[in-house]
Amino acid sequence: MAEPTLLVVSAHAADFVWRCGGTMALYRQRGSRVRLLVLSYGERGESAEQWKMPGATLEKVKANRHQESAAAAAVIGADVRFFDLGDYPMHIDDGVIEELVREFRAVRPDIVLTHSAKDPYNMDHETAAEVTLKARVVAQALGMLPDIPIIGAPPVYAFEPHQSETCGFKPSFYVDITEVFPIKKKAMECMATQQYLWEYYEHVARRRGVLAVRNGGAKSTRYAEAFESYYPWAGPALPTVAAP
């Protein structure tokens, strides 16, 4: 049986690294294809350290963020596409929806990862979540791009936002990323512009590892990432966990 294909939609250049880089690396290590769509470089709102450098310009900041993000994706093993939609705010039109539909139909993902629906600290994250869910629905419509086969209804999971409680994030799943955490850490270290987040997200992964064990995960779990399901799970039986 083929390994599942992941499609990850990240609002900005670094979001995927902090929030689901370990899960991406884990699936890639198991032989899955991991397709990453980066909607914006985060050049205005998430690149403050770059703007403090002498001679900074919008194009220079974007080029640097592209380099960092591409390097992190390479560490993880994901193939990446950059949309360059701007940020603060991100600019979405019907052409963007069509391109995302083309991606859904080309990749035919078994799993989709993106932002949580609510994030009062960053409107671009909400936009990325909204456009991902829209594209998933439109990609199932026979009348949209009828020459390209439609997809089914892949599950969509929100990765954990930066301030979970304020965003109303309630984990549905914890993924044990202990074995690939060195890969995630190396990918995080590609994001020099936001170096202040390296330690923060290492602590997040440790805390989620503790909670994973408390919720039935393997006692060997040291690092984990949290996800919330957008849609109900459908299968022949209720999901189970392994005995401790």
Kindly state whether residue 56 falls inside one of the protein's structural domains. yes
Q: What is the pLDDT of residues 87-136, one digit of tens each?
A: 999 999 999 999 999 999 999 999 999 999 999 999 999 999 999 999 99
Residue 99 half-sphere exposure toward CB, CA atoms < 13 A:
14
Q: Which residues contact 92 (CB under 8 A, 6 or more apart)?
A: 85, 127, 131
Average pLDDT of the chain, as a whole number: 96
Pairing verdict, β 111-114 and 173-176: unpaired
Using CA atoms, how far apart are residues 25 and 187, in angstroms rounded to an integer? 10
Q: What is the mean pLDDT of residues 59-63?
A: 97
Burial readout 67-77 (b: 16 or more C-beta within 10 A, e: otherwise): ebbbbbbebbb
Give yes or no for a contact between 65 and 47, defined as CB atoms under 8 angstroms apart.
yes
Where does the pLDDT of residue 228 fall: very low under 50, low under 70, confident under 90, or very high at 90 and above? very high
pLDDT at 39 > cutoff 60 = yes
Give me the CATH number covering residue 175: 3.40.50.10320
Name every residue whose Cβ is closer than 8 Å to that of residue 78 and which is 6 or more positions away in sequence: 8, 24, 28, 34, 35, 36
Cβ atoms of 229 and 117 within 8 Å: the answer is: no
User: Looking at this protein, which amino acid is placed at residue 186?
Assistant: K
Give me the half-sphere count of Cα atoms (radius 13 Å) on the Cβ side of residue 156.
Answer: 21
Asked if residue 238 belongs to a domain, the reply is no
What pLDDT was estimated at residue 1?
66
* Beta strands in 44-169, from DSSP E residues, in sequence order: 79-82, 111-114, 156-159
Tell me the residue range of the domain where 224 lies: 6-229
Residues 174 and 224: their CA atoms lie apart, in Å, by: 6
Residues 173-220: pLDDT tens digits?
Answer: 999 999 999 999 999 999 999 999 999 999 999 999 999 999 999 999
Cα–Cα distance measured from residue 35 to residue 204, given in angstroms and rounded to the nearest whole number:
24
Does residue 110 fall inside a structural domain?
yes
Tokens 């995927």, located at residue: 16
Instruction: Kindly state whether residue 45 falls inside one of the protein's structural domains.
Output: yes
Whole-structure pTM value: 0.96
In the prediction, which pLDDT does 243 show? 45
Helices 123-138 and 94-107 cross at an angle (nearest 10°) of 60
CB-based contact 106:37 (threshold 8 Å): no
Q: How many domains in the chain?
A: 1
In a domain, 204, yes or no: yes
Q: What is the average per-residue pLDDT within 147-167?
A: 97
Whether residue 105 contacts residue 149, with contact meaning beta carbons closer than 8 Å, is answered with: yes
> Is there a domain that residue 38 lies in?
yes
DSSP structure class, residue 2: P
Q: Kindly state whether residue 171 falls inside one of the protein's structural domains.
A: yes
Residue 244: which pLDDT band, with cuts at 50, 70 and 90? very low
* Residue 236 within any structural domain of the chain: no
